[in-house]
Amino acid sequence: MKPLYLSTAVRAGLGSALRPGGTTLTKRILDLAAPTANSMVVDAGCGSGASMELLKDYGIRRIVGFDIDPQLAGEARQKGLDIALADLARLPLPDSCLDLVLCECVWNLTDKKRVTSEFARVLRPGGYLALTDIYSRTGKTATWPLPCCFAGATDLATVTNLFTEAGFTVELLEDHSPLLNKTAAEFVFTHGSLQGFWQAVTGDAHLATAACSAAAASRPGLFLLLARRRE
Amino acid sequence: MSLRFLPQDMNWICRPCREPLQPGMVELHYMGNVFKVELPVCPKCGAVLIAEELALGRMLEVEQLLEDK
């Protein structure tokens, strides 16, 4: 089965940014991290390049995107963006070369401990990591019937501990769950119910029920974390 | 997002205006969120017909999601 983010129902519903709220949180990140025109920026898990286009509109000149999916990377490349296929746990970059790493609704799909260490390696001391992703609001991890960002979600204490242990200082942690709820509401309008949405994604009523049960157990929320590489 | 919620027969009349309802774009606002949908609308007074199935189905689930229930 395709990962959730590549399903037709999700791609049609979320548009090019492929995450709840579109580029709303990307704009918030730009306000918080305030990169300059000369900042060296990486979009880790750039997808089809929606954030990179926004950053270029903000005047950021030196930005490279990495993604593991050839289709999405190809779409980003067609927009004239600098893209490379790469595993986020093994970025083809020297140590301490970046001012800012964006990682939006991708981290949960990765080997999080290794990827977090890799972000610490490529960021310069004092450089920013801006991360958005799903977390479990009940603290419970649930069994999801398909690969998705929900399946890798944990509670926020576990998230912050991973970054602290990897050499980051967490400067800000915000809840943006209303953006996720709005996206879910749009899926309900489109597909009749959340059950209908998950059935459209999985093509199977039992898997759809399992996804709804997993959502009820973990009550997914959306967070934004801004962390700084310690000196 | 734009969705259509029109009855199979559009044979509905706005009683005060005595005008047949016509498909029209409507903005549904709830808790700061806006959803654009196509619904039967009175061309004269702007009254909108929301079918019971829509109100008690999708709209109820949407409200519960936005209320974070």
Domain contains A10: no
Give B48's DSSP letter. B
pTM to 2 decimal places:
0.90
**What separation in angstroms does the CA of A56 have from each of A38, A80, A127?**
12, 11, 19
Q: Nearest by CB to B61, which of A13, A178, A194?
A: A194
User: What pLDDT is recorded for position B45?
Assistant: 97
User: Do A62 and A40 contact (CB within 8 A), yes or no?
Assistant: yes
Percent of chain A at pLDDT exceeding 90: 84
Average pLDDT of every residue of chain A: 94
Q: What is the mean pLDDT of residues A105-128?
A: 97
CB contact (8 A) between residue A185 and residue B62: yes
Percentages (nearest 5) of helix, strand, coil residues in chain A: 45, 25, 35
User: Do A180 and A149 contact (CB within 8 A), yes or no?
Assistant: no
User: Do B43 and B52 contact (CB within 8 A), yes or no?
Assistant: no
For chain B, the domains span 2-66
The ipTM, to two decimals, is: 0.82
Domain contains A4: no
Task: Name the nearest CA neighbour of A134 among A69, A215, A27.
Answer: A215
Domain contains A52: yes
User: What pLDDT is recorded for position A146?
Assistant: 86
Q: Is the pLDDT of residue B13 over 60?
A: yes
User: What pLDDT is recorded for position A8?
Assistant: 84
Between strands A62-67 and A83-85, the pairing is: parallel
CATH number, domain of A107, equals 3.40.50.150
Q: Is the pLDDT of residue A141 over 90?
A: no
* Partners of residue A189 in chain B, C-beta under 8 Å: 1, 3, 35, 37, 58, 62
Domain contains A9: no
Angle between helix axes A112-122 and A156-165 (nearest 10 degrees) is 40
pLDDT in tens, B27-64: 999 998 899 999 999 999 999 999 999 999 999 999 99
Chain B residues with CB-CB distance to A under 8 A?
1, 3, 33, 35, 37, 57-58, 61-62, 65-66, 68
User: What pLDDT is recorded for position A14?
Assistant: 82
User: What pLDDT is recorded for position A150?
Assistant: 92
> Residue A146 belongs to what domain range?
24-177+221-229
* Partners of residue A177 in chain B, C-beta under 8 Å: 68
Task: Name the nearest CA neighbour of A3 among A51, A50, A75, A72.
Answer: A72
Q: On the CB side of B4, how many CA atoms lie within 13 Å of its CA?
A: 6
When divided into structural domains, chain A yields a total of 1
CB contact (8 A) between residue A185 and residue B37: no
Domain contains A171: yes
- Phi and psi dihedrals of A30, rounded to 5? -65, -40
Which overall architecture, per CATH, does domain B2-66 show? Roll (3.10)
pLDDT in tens, A11-43: 888 878 888 888 999 999 999 999 999 999 999
User: What pLDDT is recorded for position B2?
Assistant: 59
**Chain A residue at shortest CA distance from B35:** A186
Domain contains A78: yes
* Partners of residue A15 in chain B, C-beta under 8 Å: none
Domain contains A60: yes
More confident residue, A59 or A21: A59
Q: What is the mean pLDDT of residues B6-34?
A: 93
Between strands A98-104 and A40-44, the pairing is: parallel
User: Do A188 and B65 contact (CB within 8 A), yes or no?
Assistant: yes
Q: Is the pLDDT of residue B1 over 70?
A: no
Amino acid at A152: G
